[in-house]
Chains A and B, each alone.
Chain A
Amino acid sequence: MSTANSDVLGGRMPVSKPGEPAGPGATGRPPGLRAVGRRLRTGELGSWPVAIGLAVIWLVFQSLNENFLTPQNLSNLALQIAATGAISVGVVLVLLLGEIDLSVGSVSGLAAATLAVLTVRNGVPDQVGILIVVLICGLIGVVHGLIITKVGVPSFVVTLAGLIGWQGLQLYVLGPQGTINFPYEGFVAWLTHTNLTKASGWGLGVVTVAAYLAALLLDQRRRRAAGLPLRGIRQVVFRVWLLAVGVAVAVAVLNAWRGVPLALVILVGFVVGFDLVLRRTRYGRSIFAIGGNVEASRRAGLNVDLIRISVFGLASAMAAIGGILAASRVYSAGQQSGGNDVLLLAIAAAVIGGTSLFGGRGSTYAALLGMLVIGSITSGMLLLQLGSAERFMITGAVLLAAVILDSLSRRGRRASGRE
């Protein structure tokens, strides 16, 4: 049964080009090098370019300033990317649909302002206030989605109106007194000014790796029981080893300063959680399908409008969470919350991390990786005592490189798809 399957699946079409590698009959999934070769040709690069780019950036900054790769600087970096990273996770979802949300910056500012007004001025408990704010902003996203799907206005324009309008509402909510401070000892401030103890940092790391290993082994067992081709044992070991080393290094470095920041745990939690939703649920599969081919999704019976609306809702809710984290970090919400380059960096991070602007390709890890790149550039520039001028130019160049890579790999996909 299993051999018959792999024969057929591993078999090559008689008309395919000579030299085209046959699919791997033994594993069902392309192993190591061959897969990389195929991905290069077909434009399925995933996160590799940004991971390599990040390594290069780190090496360059470390060679220019030995303080760059220190536990203190890396801990600060982790804290700095948490807020915009959370916003970027929502942007990834929208980009996967092939849409855009320009309002996330304003919505994050509105969220921070509303939370401050609710909790500081009106005495609503912090946790309740956060819940209310996230829900309100989710509804804002739903309104965007309704206008986009039911009226048929392009998301670019609807969310551009949102960008301006919600910023106005933010100013209105704050009133004449421009800035509201959160108490230093409150829950909101606690969110980004807390570190896990060293032991719980290690514990969390061990649990993460163990959970990943268990999921892989369980998958292998079910595949074997179903008579499906298995992943090579080397591949399993390599993946677990890679994750374990990554987690161990991260925890060790962060523990060498003040411990793993809670804000980073929150961000990674959202990244991993949404990644599981995207790859392991029907809902997530629908998002990818709509980003790939709307008409095919409609014919397959997916409720395209509902999914689009819900994604805009999620993006705005994530923007709210990012806005709250940002406010927590500076102990205040004000007229400038969510302004400046928050929107641009959130979108840039998603794209730099490898999410396609054309829809249907990417993952929430792109938000994390992209934010690490942007945060590293910012942090490195500060260490080198360079100003915003250089920072913007370099970030812009990196973004441009990412978009060019996206377009090139799209061209590669087309070429190989046409065959």
Chain B
Amino acid sequence: MAPAPILSLSGISKRFGAVQALTDAEMAVHPGEVVALVGDNGAGKSTLIKVIAGVNPADTGEIRWDGRPVSIGKPHDATVLGIATVYQDLSLCDNLDVVANLFLGNESVRFGALDEIAMERRASELLNSLSVRIPSVRVPVAALSGGQRQSVAIARSLLGEPKVVMLDEPTAALGVAQTAQVLDLIERLRDRGLGVILISHNLADVKAVADRVVVLRLGRNAGEFRMGEATQEEIVQAITGASENAVTRREARVVGAAGATEVDR
């Protein structure tokens, strides 16, 4: 693990009217590290992501990028720093092909016309290097499976050569095999030395790829675990805030429920 975090947040607070969404939250991500951000609904995960992405800047708190303090006031600031966000609803245009989606808003132009050849070549190289398998870069994304679409969305976020990639519930709507595909892709991002922030409800996914887990509860940090050092129970306990909770009660009831790993599904 690299010694210094590429992105670190501390003392982040955010209030929406009467609701205190975040209180003194903190987290950090290092290059080549997958940090899972988990928490129950309303724990403040999305708010923290929006703070980092510049969609909803924090009221108070400090963000450090590569050790120096920065302010992220709008999405563009985050992009310029090198933070890419892949939203849950994918943000792909179904009617456009893979190349067009990858380069949307950022097309290569030659003599005033789109340089399809340069874009197709770069798209192939990019998807190739990520081992993303799709029938052809010229099919409309509507014709792709959920996992392939998610892969395209993640690949697109890499075109700006970011250092940190945030993935909001990347496996939420996917089947088992497609989830595995996306998890493989997340590992490849880590191998490239990117910092990855993974928001997920699915503790099985978190367990599979995360190096570290940051737990939020009611807008506050409720624990931080290094994967492999924490048990599933400890993480669930941090998420729910009690060792005695609906999840443990259920597990106690169901004999041999050690395999039940999904929360909130």
Contact = CB atoms under 8 A, between A and B. Distances in A.
Contacts of B148: 13
Interface string A1-25: 0001100111111111000001110
A281 B100 CA distance: 12
B20 interface: no
A419 interface: yes
A239 interface: no
Contact of A226 (B118, B133, B143): B118
Contact of A289 (B96, B137, B143): B96
Interface size bracket, A side: 35 or more
Interface in A6-48: 8-16, 22-24, 28-30, 38, 42, 44
A13 B149 CA distance: 12
A417 interface: yes
B96 A292 contact: yes
Interface stretch (B63-71, B124-132, B214-222, B226-234): B124-132
A12 B117 contact: no
Contacts of A228: 117, 120-121, 124
Interface centre among B95, B96, B133, by most chain A C-beta atoms within 10 angstroms, is B95
Interface in B108-138: 109, 112-114, 117-118, 120-121, 124-125, 127-128, 131, 133-138
Nearest to B112: A281
A295 interface: yes
Contacts of A336: none
Nearest to B138: A29
Contacts of B125: 5
A234 interface: no
Contacts of B113: 280-281
A292 B257 CA distance: 45
Contacts of A280: 113-114
B107 A285 contact: yes
A300 interface: yes
Nearest to A277: B113
Given A226-B121, A285-B107, A417-B142, A360 B135 contact: no
A31 to B, nearest CB: 11
A291 interface: yes
A299 interface: yes
B94 interface: yes
B203 to A, nearest CB: 23
Contacts of B127: 8-9
B162 interface: no
Interface stretch (B32-40, B85-93, B205-213): B85-93
Nearest to A412: B142
A413 B112 CA distance: 32
Interface size bracket, B side: 35 or more
A418 to B, nearest CB: 8
Contact of B114 (A9, A24, A285, A292): A285
Interface string B136-178: 1111111111111000000000000000000000000001011
A221 to B, nearest CB: 10
A296 B93 contact: yes
Contact of B104 (A10, A14, A297, A361): A297
B21 to A, nearest CB: 22
A300 B75 CA distance: 11
A235 interface: no
Contacts of A296: 90-93, 104
A293 B92 contact: yes
B117 A292 contact: no
A181 to B, nearest CB: 42
A140 to B, nearest CB: 28
Contacts of B131: 8
Contact of B95 (A29, A30, A288): A288
Given A13-B145, A282-B114, A293 B93 contact: yes
Contacts of A12: 133, 135
B97 to A, nearest CB: 10
Interface in A125-166: none
Given A38-B143, A282-B109, A419-B145, A413 B177 contact: no
B131 to A, nearest CB: 7
Interface centre among B106, B113, B131, by most chain A C-beta atoms within 10 angstroms, is B113
A30 B113 CA distance: 24
Nearest to A356: B95
B105 interface: yes
Contacts of A291: 95
Given A281-B112, A282-B109, A296-B93, A9 B124 contact: yes
A300 B105 contact: yes
Nearest to B178: A15
A15 B95 contact: no
A44 B140 CA distance: 9
A292 to B, nearest CB: 3
Contacts of A281: 112-114
B138 A28 contact: yes
11 contacts: A4-B128, A8-B127, A22-B135, A28-B138, A38-B143, A281-B112, A288-B93, A288-B100, A289-B100, A296-B91, A302-B104
For the complex of A and B, the 8 pairs showing the least CB-CB separation, nearest first, are A23-B135, A300-B105, A292-B93, A360-B95, A23-B136, A292-B95, A417-B142, A15-B177
Given A301-B105, A413-B94, 13 more contacts: A8-B131, A9-B128, A11-B133, A13-B134, A15-B178, A281-B112, A282-B109, A285-B107, A296-B93, A297-B105, A300-B104, A360-B94, A414-B142
